[in-house]
Amino acid sequence: MTLRIGNASGFYGDRFDALREMLTGGELDVLTGDYLAELTMLILGRDRMKDPGAGYARTFLRQLEECLGPAHERGVRIVTNAGGLNPAGLADRVRELAGRLGIPLRVAHVEGDDLTAAHPGSLAAHAYLGGFGIAACLSEGADVVITGRVTDAALVTGPAAAHFGWARDDYDRLAGAVVAGHVLECGTQATGGNYAFFNDGHRDVRRPGFPLAELHEDGTAVITKHPGTGGFVDVGTVTAQLLYETAGARYAGPDVTARLDTVRLTQDGPDRVRIEGVRGEAPLPTLKVGLNRLGGFRNEVTFVLTGLDIEAKAALVREQMTDALAKSLPADVRWDLVRTDRPDAPTEETASALLRLVVRDPDQAAVGRALSGAAIELALASYPGFHVVAPPGKGAPFGVFEDVYVPHGEVDHVAVLHDGRRVAVPPAHDTLVLDDVPQPSLPQPLPPGGPTRRAPLGLVAGARSGDKGGNANVGVWARTDDAWRWLAHTLTVDRLRELLPETAGLNVVRHALPDLRALNFVVEGILGEGVAAQHRFDPQAKALGEWLRSRHLDIPEALL
């Protein structure tokens, strides 16, 4: 018996019409929506500071206004983490909406993730719960389940465990659902969105459809999408999403640790990719807790430098701003010169470079009036052609994210059923402290001595990158066996550091996943204190993989 689970949201702000499109576009048993990310928790925390009744994804309620009817008529259950910091509050709003629309609806929610009170100084501290609270709600007849901070994959493992009656130690089956859930969680990234090879062939990726998984009792799954929707599903799109925001062979979660080095992907027909072979292990003895706190205030100004003497112009304004800021002396000052200019340029814009100044400090005054005044006062007293992209403001608060870990037993995981009953969800009874996974065998390298050509890495390899706190991961995969033989022996940690100089001096760990023909690199600390701290130009490392693909190296001509 197949369980069809679709996803209609990969983040807070995703396509508004997706919920309706997924409900009306084809058969489904369960529809999920993932609204939470590290940055989202900070945003919701600031919402809750202004209004204690807030703290959930407001757009979800607006989406439901036109979708509760179709969901009820088709018997589709909805499971979402849109509850954010206030799942009980959102559950009440959904009940009110259903009553107003005259739709009989059983709404349940999951509690226990909020550990803010135990972490003084944090704006939001939430444990990543597993899927068995969701499973308890569904097993008792809930039509809609609202959660707070659960793992993204829990939105799939919960319905699967309820539907198939899996036990807590059905680790291989749970791991298969975790992998399927990880593929679904970012929505259209599994159906051609943000895909490295989007420009190959004549595929239409202007409006990709959202993905769904056909799950089976043994934990295997097929990733697909509704007929007639845009985008495409193939082994490449699924591989890319599997590598997104993961690290090594083990993908640890509160219910199970999935072994990514056991995943086998096969094309099962047009827009169908089968996932099988996934092995699971007992979960870690601790749960991850995401801590969000306010880190201080941040401000920036970008100076436009046009034409000749770019370096000298940059040096002049740096000296002037350094002198002007000497009294306030922000705690953190960062300059970046971006050479977007070109010689003998046909337009003023292409003749211009950008000099970006970012300041941070616990005191808003140190980054607000001081920076604004200093930049504006230079308008007639600095380099020729002086102007800025926009005048600096008064400074905005920024957040800091970090992980801590607590034993399972310190979290009161509770399923609050539609009739008000509270069902305690026991912690995992078996856990496992993980040893390092032995390095897998790599394929034989290509025969030496063949002709090579200097070319971009992206001609033979795809990549996808993302953030986890202050770290970034870059997953790189090959599409043919010969390309994998070359990639596995060429793209070492040292070579990555050469190609991405920003990683020099940082700890970089390489993980090989031969069954996916993939390497996954974790770059520790490149994002500072996380996305909300805006540490670098690309604060979530979304394009780090595309930068890597653009770098040139000697590639065997046979692969090109």
Residue of 306, 293, 324, 301 whose CA lies nearest to 383: 306
Q: Is the pLDDT reported for residue 327 higher than 90?
A: no
Q: Do the domain assignments include residue 186? A: yes
Q: Using 50, 70 and 90 to split pLDDT, how confident is the model at 95?
A: very high
Is the domain of 149 the same as that of 202?
Answer: yes
Mapping DSSP onto H, E and C, the string for 286-338 reads EEEEEEEEEEEEEEEEEEEEECCCHHHHHHHHHHHHHHHCCCCCCCEEEEEEE
Q: Is pTM, for the whole model, over 0.85?
A: yes
More confident residue, 352 or 366: 352
CA contacts within 13 A on the Cβ side of 259: 21
Q: Is 182 exposed, middle or buried (0-12, 13-18, 19+ CB in 10 A)?
A: buried
Instruction: Give the torsion sign (CA, 417, 420, 421, 427).
Output: positive
Domain range enclosing 341: 297-394
Residue 350 falls in which region: left (phi positive, over 0), alpha (psi -120 to 50) or beta: alpha
Q: Using 50, 70 and 90 to split pLDDT, how confident is the model at 23?
A: very high
Domain count, the chain: 3
Is the domain of 340 the same as that of 456?
Answer: no
Is the domain of 180 the same as that of 226?
Answer: yes
Is the domain of 348 the same as that of 390?
Answer: yes
Residue 507 falls in which region: left (phi positive, over 0), alpha (psi -120 to 50) or beta: beta
Is the domain of 409 the same as that of 552?
Answer: no
Is the domain of 169 the same as that of 305?
Answer: no
Q: Is the pLDDT reported for residue 535 higher than 90?
A: no
Beta strands in 321-439 (DSSP E): 332-338, 352-361, 387-388, 396-407, 414-416, 422-424
Q: Is the pLDDT reported for residue 557 higher than 90?
A: yes
Q: Do the domain assignments include residue 336? A: yes
Give the residue-averaged pLDDT of 316-341.
94
Q: Is the pLDDT reported for residue 132 higher than 90?
A: yes
The pLDDT tens digits of the residues spanning 438-456 come to 889 999 999 998 999 999 9
Give, as one character, the DSSP assignment of residue 145: E
Instruction: Give the torsion sign (CA, 541, 546, 550, 555).
Output: positive
Q: Is the pLDDT reported for residue 391 higher than 90?
A: no
Residue whose structure tokens are 């349940």:
108
Q: Do the domain assignments include residue 433? A: no
Q: Please, are residues 408 and 427 in contact by the beta-carbon 8 Å criterion?
A: yes
Q: Do the domain assignments include residue 290? A: no
